[in-house]
Structure formats: C-alpha cells, structure tokens
Amino acid sequence: MKLIKSLLLIFSCLLLPIVSYAWPTDTVRVQVLDDAATFGLKIDGRYEVRDAQDKKSLYRGRDLNSTVTAYAGGIIIAGNNFPANRIFININDPDVIEINTRPFRGDIQIIKSPSNRMSVINYIGLEDYVKGILYHEASHYWPMEALKAQAIVSRSYARYQMKENVSKDFDMTNDIYSQVYGGSISERQRTNKAVEDTQGAALFYKGELMPAFFHATCGGHTEDAARLWKINMPPLKGVPCKFCRESPHFNWHAVLFTGDIRQALVDSGKRTGVIKKIIIMARDDSSRITDLKIINTKADYVILAKDFRNIVGPNVIKSTNFNVSITGTDAVFEGVGWGHGVGLCQWGAYFMAKEGRTAEDILDYYYPGADVKTL
C-alpha cells in the first residue's frame, strides 16, 4: 500500500506542469529571443546559474562576456557545460545585462529545445517593464496625462497577460502582437515619471482586471473587441473618437501588386488565381470592413477582413477601414486609422491631453464603465 501511495505520488508529480521558478507575482516574463542557435550574453557583476527545474545552484560567477551555445545534454556558457534544458540566471549586482548587445534589467531563463535551439525569457519587475515599453508605445515628449494613461493601460495589459499565461513559459513576446519591449535602453525621464506617478494603477471592470487593449489611431471610431476576439465587455464595445483627426496616422494609402497579394493568400493556404476584384461585403458599426470577397480566376471566396489584413501585412494594410480598387495589376487602398482599433486610441489620448484632459478623463472616455484601481 505504501509503495502504491508513493508510486501515485511520483506519478502525480510527473503529471504536474513543470514550474521552472517561483517568480514573485509582480514579475513579468518576456520572451526576448526565440529559436536562437547562439547568442551573446554580457554581465558586469555577480550572477548565479541555477537549474530552473530543481532550482539547484550550478555556478556562481562574476563578469561574463560570452557566446551561449547549446548541445544535446545542456547549455554552454563561457566554457562551462550546464547539463540542463532550462537554466535560470539570477543577476545580483548589476542593474543591466546585455543579450546580443541589447540591455535588459532583471533575471533571465534560457530554455533549450530538443533541436538545440534556445529561447531567452527576461524576468522583470512589472514597474520596470512598463518603464521599458512606455517610450516605444508613446514617445517621451507626449503630454504627461497621455503618458500616464498609457502607463495604466500598458500595466493593465501586462497584468492581464500574466494572469492568462501563468501555466506557459512566458507572458509576453517582444513584438507588436503584445507590447513592444525595448529593455532598459528605452527608458526616459518623463516616461519613467509617468510610470512612477501611476504606480500599481490598472483598469478593472466589475472588480475584474481588464484586458486593456490599445492601438495607434482609431480613425474616427474605436472597435468592438467582440468583432476580433472572444471578449464581450461593455468598456470594449467601441466609442466615437473625434480626437485623433490630426494624427499622422489618420489616413493611409497603399499600392500593392495584385500578384503579391495573391502570393500571400496562397501562402496562407487560400486557393487563389489572378485577382480581378476585391469587393467589400459588409462593414460594422465602426465602419471597419467585416468581410471581403476575392474575385479571382480560380474560385471566388469570402475572407474576414481582419484575416486579410494579417495575411497581407498589418503594417501595410494598416486598418480594416479602407476602400480598395484594382487598376491593371495594382490594388490601390485608401484607408483610415492604424491598428485593430480596440480600446485606447493613442493619438486620441495625445490630443485629449493637449486639450487639458486628465489621464482619468482619457481612460473614462475610451473604456466607459471601467475603474482605475491600484493593485
């Protein structure tokens, strides 16, 4: 009986997800490198290498400037073989470490795949993380109230991702699909002040932390989140916005070779012949397109406008609010807005702050019914 019990215990341990390190709840895990065969790592100061699974200390060192590589049995740093698929490096003294010459704050985890490729996850305090991204999301010369609104939004979004991804290896990636994280090089005095002045503040709806989406410019009306994702909540239903009219991203224009559009659609698995016409089938209440029909020399088909935008390129087709016509082999797009359009319109916030509105006014406007609370 005892044996069966202990076997059961071992078995249930094996079934548990691998918890590599107990991080404090205010630490964000950002994937800063993925699928790398090697990378550069520089640490000026004291550090400790641990096996991320059993947390055993493997090495203590000082000052490192090395290329990290992987082998079948583990990870090699500065000539030391660490026989583990996941190692955690605690950074003790220095404020900043460098990964491929880019500076970061906090600790890192290196995860090796069976094919000996590595990803690097940066473990960073939430407030430091928000400082790191704020400069990229809203330039430091912006009015302070707009920066504060963005700090609250970015913190809420990060907190929400931390909650959603707790069983995964990381909370966010370092790209436009989550938040652009520049590491410590991105910090500026004014953006840091906006983070410090709003320390811990986040957006809630009916007591629950909100996924505080945001985008560059809505182009006249923000979008209902339910149109894009399985998120149906009153503060994310969309509001009219007259504030972003002077945004540098209000209007966009793109001329694309129809052969390139066809290729992108084919690469995504859509059987597509020569494109003859792109027809707008329907628009939603925010005047964004919901469906497009692709008239082509094979079989015509209908595609969701949001999928079309992602397939052709979200930075070329900057929004799903456009008109399109085909002239010869060119598709000419004339559109408004930049981004998915859900939540805070960043350029709207900029102009609201210029008119003297506070961060709270801005958040009340773009997330009606939501509350700002300090975590």
For binding to Zn ion (CB under 5 A), which residues are involved?
218, 241, 244, 345, 348
Q: Which is nearer to Zn ion, 170 or 351 (CB)?
A: 351
Tokens representing 256 are: 């694309």
CA-CA distances (angstroms) from residue 346 to 4, 256, 319, 320, 326? 60, 27, 15, 17, 32
Residues 201 and 317: their CA atoms lie apart, in Å, by: 34
From residue 24, give the alpha-carbon distance in Å to each of 134, 166, 312, 367: 22, 12, 40, 29
- Distance in angstroms (rounded) separating the CA atoms of residues 341 and 334: 17
On whether the CB atoms of residues 155 and 201 are closer than 8 A, the answer is: yes
Q: How far is the CB of 263 from Zn ion (least distance, A)?
A: 33
Minimum distance, C-beta of residue 245 to Zn ion, in the bound complex (Å):
8
Planar angle of CA 237, 242, 246, nearest 5 degrees: 130
Residue 181 burial class via C-beta count within 10 angstroms: exposed 0-12, middle 13-18, buried 19 and up: buried
Q: Which is nearer to Zn ion, 47 or 351 (CB)?
A: 351
Q: Minimum Å distance from CB 86 to Zn ion? A: 43
We find the least distance from the C-beta atom of residue 332 to Zn ion, in angstroms, to be: 24
* 192/319 with CB nearer Zn ion: 319
Choose between 149 and 345: whose C-beta lies nearer to Zn ion.
Answer: 345
Shorter beta-carbon distance to Zn ion: residue 52 or 244: 244
- Comparison of 41 and 241: residue with beta carbon closer to Zn ion: 241
Q: How far is the CB of 337 from Zn ion (least distance, A)?
A: 7
Strand partners, 91: 47
**To the nearest whole angstrom, how small is the minimum distance from the Cβ of residue 147 to Zn ion?**
17
